[in-house]
Chains A and B, each alone.
Chain A
Amino acid sequence: DSGVTQTPKHLITATGQRVTLRCSPRSGDLSVYWYQQSLDQGLQFLIQYYNGEERAKGNILERFSAQQFPDLHSELNLSSLELGDSALYFCASSVTPGGAENEQFFGPGTRLTVL
């Protein structure tokens, strides 16, 4: 158990819908990363938040957005869902984005299926 929690574990929805994925980082970790694992794109970085502020963006679609709240949990919002958005979405946390504390601990993932 990494200490990172993600809910829900599974999500099945229809095209055009909007969903919210939730992540709680390990106690003491200020940085949250979101990754998407799909069959065609592999594992890729979406976005990072550090202490409530967006710090870096990767290949995140405009239909997707995220935020980190004062209690440091993070939510990833996916809207106007398409079949191709079906994937495993991971959240990871780390103590800080810099220095030696670079190890990212991954949550169990949320498997999103868009029908």
Chain B
Amino acid sequence: AQRVTQPEKLLSVFKGAPVELKCNYSYSGSPELFWYVQYSRQRLQLLLRHISRESIKGFTADLNKGETSFHLKKPFAQEEDSAMYYCALKVTAAVNKLTFGGGTRVLVKP
């Protein structure tokens, strides 16, 4: 069965410092991976997906099939990046079922 692991429950960094959120997955098929974010008092929303290969709000994530990882990175963290981040794996083409990791809370200190 598929599984997504986010080893860090909490990441605390200072403003302007780099931040990297780790995500590892296990899945026998061809994975499609996402990062979702939940800001305080807001709903869960898509941040980025690996297929798009885009940078959103300064965040990037590269799919490494050899290491089965999809780490999220930002070179200079901002206070508004403080949020809960979830890595997610889509496993079925017909239905967009998502398997989520446990989430990482990012706290960016001034």
Please indicate whether A and B come from the same complex rather than being unrelated chains: no
Interface residues of A (CB under 8 A from B): none
Interface residues of B (CB under 8 A from A): none
